[in-house]
Amino acid sequence: MARISPLSGFPEWLPEGRAVEHAVLETVRRTFELHGFAGIQTRAVEPLEQLLRKGETSKEVYVLRRLQAEESVDAGEDDLDHKALGLHFDLTVPFARYVLENSGRLQFPFKRYQVQSVWRGERPQEGRFREFTQADIDVVGSGALPFHFEVEVPLVMAEVFARLQQFGVPPVRIQVNNRKVAQGFYEAIGLADVEGVLRTIDKLDKIGPERVLATLQQENGASPEQAQSCLDLASISGTDGSIADRVLALGARSELLQEGLEELVTLVEAAQQRVPGTVVADLKIARGLDYYTGSVYETTLVGHEQLGSISSGGRYDSLASDGSATYPGVGMSIGVTRLVSRLLSADLVRASRSVPTAVLVAVTDEQTRADSVAIAAALRRRGIPTDVAPSAAKFGKQIRFADRRGIPFVWFPSPEGHQVKDIRNGEQVDADAQTWEPPAADLWPTVAPTV
């Protein structure tokens, strides 16, 4: 086999790292389900024409080709559906297609979650990968979708991250804004290029206020006063109704602005009551994508802000649309791989062992292996993850086998009566495979903050 080396941007974990990822995903999934979101999975591929509808993302797409497509004698086979296929780069495009494809068989509003890999051919860097796992929730309506879902979605995410703190995941700050505020404000002060201004404001943290002011004037048609107003708006943040007062103090007025402010204040005030200190209105949050039409969300890990957002999303008035209906929605996506890679690289979280096994049954000699196997079967029937020593080596070697994997108990079978040893403290007691139980904390591997 050729020399093996990792591929940049395609992260993989050792078993103990995967145990951390799995624990995170189980918590995420369970929290989504507690809130009534149903799980689905979509295929990894979409027709390229669907993936390229947003021109901006085209550079990221991986296109598929069957290796023998050119050589195939059967013209039908190499392109079964007569469509070029690419790997999905997010879970939103496939979900939109799934909703249209199944609209007659789904109940709306449809709340779904989806945990899957996505692929982007970007240059990899810290926290940015070519293959990574996302965990998305979306609520999608048929024709209409009430605003209250824009409050619900970030609060579900706040609950997910609150629960993840048990593993040692740092607290998060969810920054929210409302596209109607920005759009209403820019239009009210006479700026027509709303998209352009948003894109420039989106770079504020990266390029700083001076260059934003310059760009707004050079590229987005703003006067010096208009540019300064945009910057003033972006500087506002808070967790209560005072943010609306400060926006209105800048002088602009419009119906859209008013509506956006009311929504934004409703959101942060509800959040302040239910998850105090987690959700903050931050009017510089712009979100690059042009399909957002209401609330937008970004989430940073406190103390790891430079990692970028680990959960983002927003409201879109048209997730998808066919001849007869439009499907508005609101959703957020967790960048699971970005989060987990930081948890592991910063050694914030650890699994208690690298295998599921709680008990290793020793083997006295190969002639009595069947006895050891029968003990293991009895323990497993009672839900205790158990393995049998791979060889009838000296007991010291079998204990080391367990120790190297973090298996806490070794079982010694004997015709005179079984014993089980806690190899962490050396305590050894008589035991019966029909009744003995490990302490609950040792039954399955646990994932906990690194101490």
Binding site for L-histidine, residues? 90-92, 120, 134, 138, 287, 291-292
Tokens of 289: 């994508």
Query: CA 402, CA 386: separation in Å to the nearest integer?
Result: 11
Least distance to a copy of itself, CB of residue 55, Å = 12
Alpha-helical runs (H) found in 189-316 = 194-201, 204-219, 224-234, 242-248, 255-274
Does 119 contact a copy of itself by CB under 8 A?
Answer: yes
Does 45 contact a copy of itself by CB under 8 A?
Answer: yes
Nearest to residue 24, comparing CAs of 175, 137, 135, 156? 135
Which positions from 378 through 407 interact with a copy of itself, judged by CB under 8 A?
A: 380, 383-388, 390-391, 401, 404-405
Which positions from 173 through 212 interact with a copy of itself, judged by CB under 8 A?
A: none
Decide whether 251 or 277 has the Cβ nearer to a copy of itself. Answer: 277
The H or E element spanning position 16 is helix 15-34
Least distance to a copy of itself, CB of residue 62, Å = 5
Amino acid in the structure at residue 407: I
State the sign of the Cα–Cα–Cα–Cα dihedral 224, 229, 231, 232.
Answer: positive
| Phi-psi category of residue 280: left, alpha or beta, with phi > 0 → left and psi -120 to 50 → alpha | beta
Angle at 239 between CA 233 and CA 243, to 5 degrees: 35
Least distance to a copy of itself, CB of residue 258, Å = 19
Does 102 contact a copy of itself by CB under 8 A?
Answer: yes
User: C-alpha distances in angstroms, 25 versus 22, 160, 342, 416?
Assistant: 5, 10, 15, 45
Least distance to a copy of itself, CB of residue 102, Å = 6
Does 329 contact a copy of itself by CB under 8 A?
Answer: no
Going residue by residue from 238 to 277, which x/- string records binding to a copy of itself, judged by CB under 8 A?
--------------------------------x---x---
Does 50 contact a copy of itself by CB under 8 A?
Answer: yes
Q: How many residues bind a copy of itself (CB under 8 A)?
A: 104
* Residue 80 DSSP code: T
Which positions from 59 through 88 interact with a copy of itself, judged by CB under 8 A?
A: 59-69, 77, 80-81, 83, 85-87
Which positions from 136 through 155 interact with a copy of itself, judged by CB under 8 A?
A: 141, 146, 148-149, 152
